Chain A
Amino acid sequence: MIPQSPVLVVVIPLIFAFLTLLFGWFRRSFCYPITLVALSLSFFASLHTLHIVITTGTIHYYLGSWKPPWGIEYVVDYLNAFVLVIVSFVSLMVAIYSKRSVEQELPEKIVYFYCIFLLQVTGFLGIVITGDLFNLYVFLEIASLAGYALIAVGEDGAPFASFNYVIFGTIGACFYLLGVGYLYIVTGSLNIADLSQILPNLYHSKVVLVAFAFFLVGVSIKMALFPLHVWLPDAYTYAPSTVSALLAPLMTKVGAYVMIRVMFTVFKPYFSIELIPATTILGWMAAAAILFGAILALAQIDLKRMLTYILVSEVGYITLGVALANRNGLTGAILHILNDAFMMLALFLVVGAIMYRSGKREISQLRYLHRKMPFTMAVFVIAALSVIGIPPTCGFFSKWYLILGAIDANKWIFVAVLLVSSLLNVILFFRCIENAYLEPVAEHSSVGSELAITREESPLSMLIPTLIAGAGIMSFGVLSGKIISTIIQFALPAGF
């Protein structure tokens, strides 16, 4: 009896998306529980898949029982299963969080919102788990269309930001499709495992080189790698809080996963490292992304916009790990996929909670928040420490591996870039933490103890995912050695 959990992970949110629409038309209050049930089942299925991969090795699941390359297959190895668990868990957390926030921001569209929410998660899960290049394109388009719609229902300025995202995202997806097409013309196959065996004879061919270039550019647009990141700040700032919390941790990480798959599984690693200078170019882009994101984040007044520039910087970290292309660098990159998902989740959940309670999200509005929302601000501080890279939070360990990888590769300039960016992040978050925790002296002495700021913490359905995200950041830091030895060590592509 073959295990069906690889396909259940993708199909359950899909079926429940239809059910949400069906039951939501009768009564609106059914949508939220149905979404939670769908994502919990999907999360358990992904945990089961990870368990099967750890105990029995790579899963090959043939859809419709047609043998590849004539049919579509799902190949789940350590990297796949790892990213699958991350995606399903983060989406479950955002779904729990979403109830109050969606009721406040989109009261008349709740049914359709949850339907598209589940379809978006289906798209992400489908991208991560598939072993067929054209199937990846189809699920990439599902995720993209859902993303365009979710962003466009935000506040003022959201439709225009979403339109920019439509144009950029379509260019990215079409470049990816062109890459698939060029590879198909010279090999005749669409299956990732099959291509990795046929392609080494064709590395001298110009078609394969152009296909690789178009893959990378298309995935970089989706992943928001500098300088193709221009759609990201506007899109994620004006989107509703729940949507930013869903898309920001996940879209870029799924894009990074696709890049690792294309660079190291479809094409053998020596193609990107020795035959063409792809890793060198990616390294410079990544370094520029890290510095550019941190510097531009300093110039922002809006807290959410600042976080989107930090996201651009974090994508730079993962790409730097991939570009270093040695054992430590790739370990750092894959660990950073996990860490960054939780850091961005925590940060965007906190900003959403602040937006829910006070309706504003400028950094100057953070004043007195440590008394109003103590738990939320505590999670903010933990996430800030993780972005800076202070032990024992998880951010320190992924940066540590990245620095080790840069030293191994003798690229001291990248070590300098990593350290400078940590310094910039300190300055960045010190502003926010100072506003939130330290009270101005003048007001304190004049008003005295009559300044009664009441505790107005975020509601429980929003607080619990925030606390879980914060706890996750701390515990993944402590457990990072165990995570590396059980999962990431085997997730490194062959050849490292």
Chain B
Amino acid sequence: MRVLALITVIITGIILIYGTVDMPDWGDPNSPASKHVSPEYIEKALEATATPNIVTAVLADYRGYDTLGETTVIFTAGISCILILRRRKKRR
């Protein structure tokens, strides 16, 4: 069983490393990720949202719905823990 797990892990690792061959260099300012969507975030965030912290602007404004989902995840986890761990109070 452990051998099977080891083989699976090694194959997954090799596939992942194989995928990084074509990736843009680390820190390249001309990579597609830095050229497509994020320049607009950096340049326009201050005037569109009046927030100097661009990460906050994206998190709470441009992608605020993801933050709502994340809050719901925390809520779900909290209520799930109550659901799983709650014990019947023994009445004397």
Task: Judge if A481 is at the interface, Cβ distance under 8 Å.
Answer: no
Q: Which residue of A lies closest to B21 (CB)?
A: A206
Contacts of A112 in B (CB 8 A): 79, 82-83, 86
Among A72, A138, A145, A206, which residue has its beta carbon within 8 angstroms of that of B80?
A145
Given contacts A116-B83, A182-B19, A211-B19, whether A63 and B65 have CB atoms under 8 Å apart is yes
Task: Judge if A468 is at the interface, Cβ distance under 8 Å.
Answer: no
Query: What is the count of residue pairs linking A and B with beta-carbon distances less than 8 angstroms?
Result: 120
Q: Which residue of B lies closest to A71 (CB)?
A: B62
Q: Which residue of B lies closest to A119 (CB)?
A: B76
Task: Judge if B92 is at the interface, Cβ distance under 8 Å.
Answer: no
Task: Judge if B1 is at the interface, Cβ distance under 8 Å.
Answer: no
Report the minimal beta-carbon distance from B32 to chain A, rounded to whole angstroms. 5
Interface string of B63-92 (1 = CB under 8 A from A): 111100110110111011111101010000
CA distance A153 to B36 in the complex (A): 46
Contacts of B36 in A (CB 8 A): 69, 187-189, 198
Task: Judge if A148 is at the interface, Cβ distance under 8 Å.
Answer: yes
Among B23, B73, B86, which residue has its beta carbon within 8 angstroms of that of A207?
B23
Given contacts A72-B66, A138-B73, A142-B76, whether A153 and B40 have CB atoms under 8 Å apart is no
Find out whether the CB atom of A21 lies under 8 angstroms from the CB atom of B79: yes
Find out whether the CB atom of A213 lies under 8 angstroms from the CB atom of B23: no
Task: Judge if A135 is at the interface, Cβ distance under 8 Å.
Answer: yes
Interface string of A157-199 (1 = CB under 8 A from B): 0010000000000000000001000101111111000000010
Task: Judge if B2 is at the interface, Cβ distance under 8 Å.
Answer: no
Task: Judge if A126 is at the interface, Cβ distance under 8 Å.
Answer: yes
Report the minimal beta-carbon distance from B5 to chain A, rounded to whole angstroms. 12
CA distance A63 to B66 in the complex (A): 10
Task: Judge if A414 is at the interface, Cβ distance under 8 Å.
Answer: no
Q: Which residue of A lies closest to B74 (CB)?
A: A145
Task: Judge if A448 is at the interface, Cβ distance under 8 Å.
Answer: no
Report the minimal beta-carbon distance from B8 to chain A, rounded to whole angstroms. 10
Q: Which residue of B lies closest to A14 (CB)?
A: B72
Find out whether the CB atom of B70 lies under 8 angstroms from the CB atom of A146: no
Contacts of B18 in A (CB 8 A): 206, 210
Report the minimal beta-carbon distance from B18 to chain A, rounded to whole angstroms. 6
Interface string of A65-90 (1 = CB under 8 A from B): 01001111000000000000000000
The A contact surface, by secondary structure, is: helix
Find out whether the CB atom of A206 lies under 8 angstroms from the CB atom of B79: no
CA distance A138 to B63 in the complex (A): 12
CA distance A356 to B23 in the complex (A): 57
CA distance A153 to B82 in the complex (A): 11
Find out whether the CB atom of B76 lies under 8 angstroms from the CB atom of A116: yes
Interface string of B30-44 (1 = CB under 8 A from A): 011111111011000
CA distance A324 to B18 in the complex (A): 29
Task: Judge if A342 is at the interface, Cβ distance under 8 Å.
Answer: no
Interface pairs (19), CB distance under 8 Å = A18-B75, A64-B62, A71-B63, A72-B63, A109-B86, A112-B79, A116-B79, A119-B76, A134-B63, A139-B69, A141-B73, A142-B73, A145-B80, A149-B84, A153-B83, A186-B24, A186-B33, A188-B34, A188-B36
With A112-B82, A149-B84, A186-B32 known, 13 other A-B pairs at CB within 8 A are: A69-B36, A71-B63, A112-B79, A119-B75, A126-B69, A138-B69, A141-B73, A142-B73, A205-B22, A206-B19, A207-B23, A210-B15, A213-B15
Q: Residues of B at under 8 Å CB distance from A?
A: 15-16, 18-24, 31-38, 40-41, 61-66, 69-70, 72-73, 75-77, 79-84, 86, 88
3 closest residue pairs by CB, A with B: A210-B19, A188-B36, A149-B80
Q: Residues of A at under 8 Å CB distance from B?
A: 14, 17-18, 21, 63-64, 66, 69-72, 108-109, 112-113, 115-116, 119, 122, 126, 134-135, 138-139, 141-142, 145-146, 148-150, 152-153, 159, 178, 182, 184-190, 198, 205-207, 209-211, 213
